[in-house]
Chain A
């Protein structure tokens, strides 16, 4: 029989057993109750307990079997595993029925089970973090076995060129040795991030100030959804816009000033990325500015400060930790942004300070390395994981610092909704 059919049969049998468990356990409990004996739980709860005692052990057994097969490569026939699971289910059904007694606390048992199940679900998010760490670190280590760590961190030439020949055991055919110096990539990344921040922080912060300090509720009601629309546009759309509309505009503008700009310049993705990040900064700053207590504003106004001075000298300094935290989160997002740079920035690892030139970023190289037709074990493919590791460490640090800053702000003003 086919595996799919086997699985369907297994599920059907489990459901059937579950139904039997529910109704027999409930019937037994009802009988005991009608005989006048006091029971600690409702008949339905005994029924549900029966279902749990039938299905849970069987599912655990089949899951364990599947994991053992995957992890240890042991060959267990699927049919056998499922038959064993069904047997366990029958055993669970019998045990569950035996346990239906007046003094047995079925509700408490269900409660414990639910608690463990929910805790198990929580485990998934931890496993995700672990998964990211293990997958990236594992492959990055393989990369660093091939390439020197310091060359990777401090090298200024990124030329994976002939690494696929090495992987194929034909290193001597390559014209030049592959070089993996990541400095040009990080220079490009930071350049584009800096441009994005130059656009996003002033506009985002000023918008937030306007919305929380000046705007009437009506304007607020229009401006907030408008910024949310900006946040909802997919990055691939921004990337297309940057490459097709903004980049030619910048080339034309550069020509007016007598400068020469590449079509894959760093300015276009930088500006568009900045626009993408505006709503991010403005909504976070808006929350922070709104949670500066009104008593501070009233105090400042009572001392004779004008509205503008109150904002500049009292509200913004008070909200500063939150604003910095928002900006750090924005930087972390800009560093990891992929589609805009893949579509609008260049592919050339170019160490330059001129934003009109062609530049590439870490994320572009990751995508390029993993979408090429390279063998997975080649140094170029693995370099993606090394770059990913650096990206992970940098963004993790930024996120943690930002969390600490916002926590400090929250404790200072005892706000619970941030």
Chain B
């Protein structure tokens, strides 16, 4: 059997074509992931950005005696369906606080109902034909417009979409993460220092290592079950509080901090330690004065990444009851509270169309914070990372 050079080079061409195929295919896979990311962010931006603006209309508000009893009477009958009921409800208390309003009639920019808001943004709305015409007319007169939705960042949850804001959830997230950081950071760093610098290399140490790696891979919802059974039922920590949420998240974040701290400690070269021992330092002195400061950027990076992870976590917090309805901002570690992802979860369950917008808006805020945190971590790593 003879092989001509033509046959062989044809075969070679085929084989090289297969390489190109593989390259194209794998590039396509990566491109698919990129495409999804673009699709995802575009979708979220389209859905969420409108949440940052809100319809307001200019109406005559009549602060009459009748309005202090029956808030509905403050605006004329045909305008009533257009004005947010949440705004009207506050009319009597405003009249009580500002007696000079009594008996006056003034034209004011007031919060519009969410249906008006949806209509102005061009979405489907349940406004009647007549009300739609009225809104069109108001808009033509410049008496109805979309303005920046500051309320979204300053108020708590509400069942009325035009009143709902993310502030109470943001405060809850902050308190919860404070607890998480206060518990997980010292314990995590101490554990890592012990395992990396002090522990003898024996069976027990190996067991602890396997245990920590395993903890990192346990489904987060099981931490919720732990929090419910141990912290709430056994230790009696108040349910739904940032304290119990923070403790649960701390246990979940602990392995992340331990693992990243160990990596950071390991990257400090042994020559540093040897030099320390050489001038007569004890082990703790070497660790405290030399190894830990050198490993600090890496440790901080790990801590930020761990916190970002904890911040986006929802499942364990739902189990420990942090999906409460929190209309007011409360800065207490032991009172019922909610966190941003849980707030997003609650909103996503609301049937009204306007809540989809609010939910997406909340998601955008959460994503912005998370991306900022992760970028900080990356910058920290790039800036202070030392190649030995």
Contacts and interface: CB of A to CB of B under 8 A. Distances in A.
Interface stretch (A57-65, A80-88, A93-101, A394-402): A394-402
A336 B219 contact: yes
Interface in B50-102: none
A306 B23 contact: no
* A134, A210, A241, A337 pick with most chain B CB within 10 angstroms: A210
A271 to B, nearest CB: 10
A338 B219 CA distance: 8
Contacts of A234: 311-314, 341, 366, 370
Contacts of B229: 134-136, 138-139, 385
Interface stretch (B146-154, B220-228, B289-297): B220-228
From B208, B258, B348, name the one whose CB has the most chain A CB atoms within 10 angstroms.
Answer: B348
A386 to B, nearest CB: 11
B211 interface: yes
Interface residues of A, number: 90
A312 to B, nearest CB: 7
A236 B344 contact: yes
Interface in B199-240: 199, 208, 210-215, 217-226, 228-230, 233-235
B272 interface: no
B225 A366 contact: yes
B194 A128 contact: no
B116 interface: no
A275 interface: yes
B323 interface: yes
Contacts of A225: 378
Contact of B210 (A122, A139, A202, A403): A403
Count chain B CB atoms within 10 A of each CB in A128, A241, A282, A399 and give the residue with the most. Answer: A128
A211 B30 CA distance: 9
A413 interface: no
B157 to A, nearest CB: 16
A241 B217 contact: no
Interface in A91-112: 107-108, 110-111
Nearest to B36: A275
Given A132-B226, A237-B344, A333 B219 contact: yes
B160 interface: no
Contacts of B228: 135, 370
Contact of A309 (B15, B208, B218, B282): B15
A210 B27 contact: yes
Contacts of B16: 306, 308
B374 A392 contact: no
Interface residues of B, number: 87
A306 B17 CA distance: 10
A375 interface: no
Given A206-B29, A241-B40, A309 B19 contact: yes
Interface stretch (A13-21, A113-121, A250-258): A113-121
A117 B189 CA distance: 12
A226 interface: yes
Interface in B272-316: 282-285, 308, 311-315
Given A135-B225, A234-B366, A367 B315 contact: yes
Contacts of B21: 308
A309 B230 contact: no
A125 B254 contact: yes
Determine chain A's interface SS by DSSP, over half rule. Answer: helix
Contacts of B356: 244
B10 interface: no
A236 B215 contact: no
Given A132-B225, A333-B217, A121 B26 contact: no
Between A131, A204, A282, the greatest number of chain B beta carbons within 10 A of the residue's beta carbon is seen for: A131
Contacts of A240: 344, 348, 359-360, 363
Contacts of B378: 225
B26 A207 contact: yes
B352 to A, nearest CB: 13
A335 interface: yes
A108 B308 CA distance: 39
Interface in B219-273: 219-226, 228-230, 233-235, 251, 254-255, 258
B370 A136 contact: no
B187 interface: yes
Contact of A278 (B33, B323, B341, B345): B33
A89 to B, nearest CB: 22
B319 interface: yes
Interface string B9-23: 000000110111111
Given A225-B378, A240-B344, A306-B18, A207 B219 contact: no
Contact of A229 (B37, B186, B283, B285): B37
A384 B220 contact: no
A40 B12 CA distance: 78
Nearest to A238: B40
Interface string A298-323: 00000000111101100000000000
A399 B345 contact: no
Given A110-B284, A236-B314, A240-B344, A118 B190 contact: yes
Contact of B220 (A136, A243, A338): A338
Interface of A: 70, 107-108, 110-111, 114-115, 117-119, 121-122, 124-126, 128-129, 131-132, 134-136, 138-139, 202-207, 209-211, 213-214, 223, 225-230, 232-237, 239-241, 243-245, 275, 278-279, 282, 306-309, 311-312, 329, 332-333, 335-339, 342-343, 363, 366-367, 370-371, 376, 384-385, 388, 391-392, 395-396, 399-400, 403
Report, nearest first, the 8 A-B pairs whose CB atoms are least far apart: A336-B219, A234-B312, A308-B19, A135-B229, A206-B29, A210-B26, A121-B190, A118-B194
20 contacts: A70-B235, A125-B215, A125-B254, A126-B208, A132-B226, A135-B228, A139-B229, A207-B33, A225-B378, A232-B374, A234-B314, A237-B363, A275-B33, A308-B21, A333-B217, A336-B218, A363-B315, A366-B319, A399-B218, A400-B214
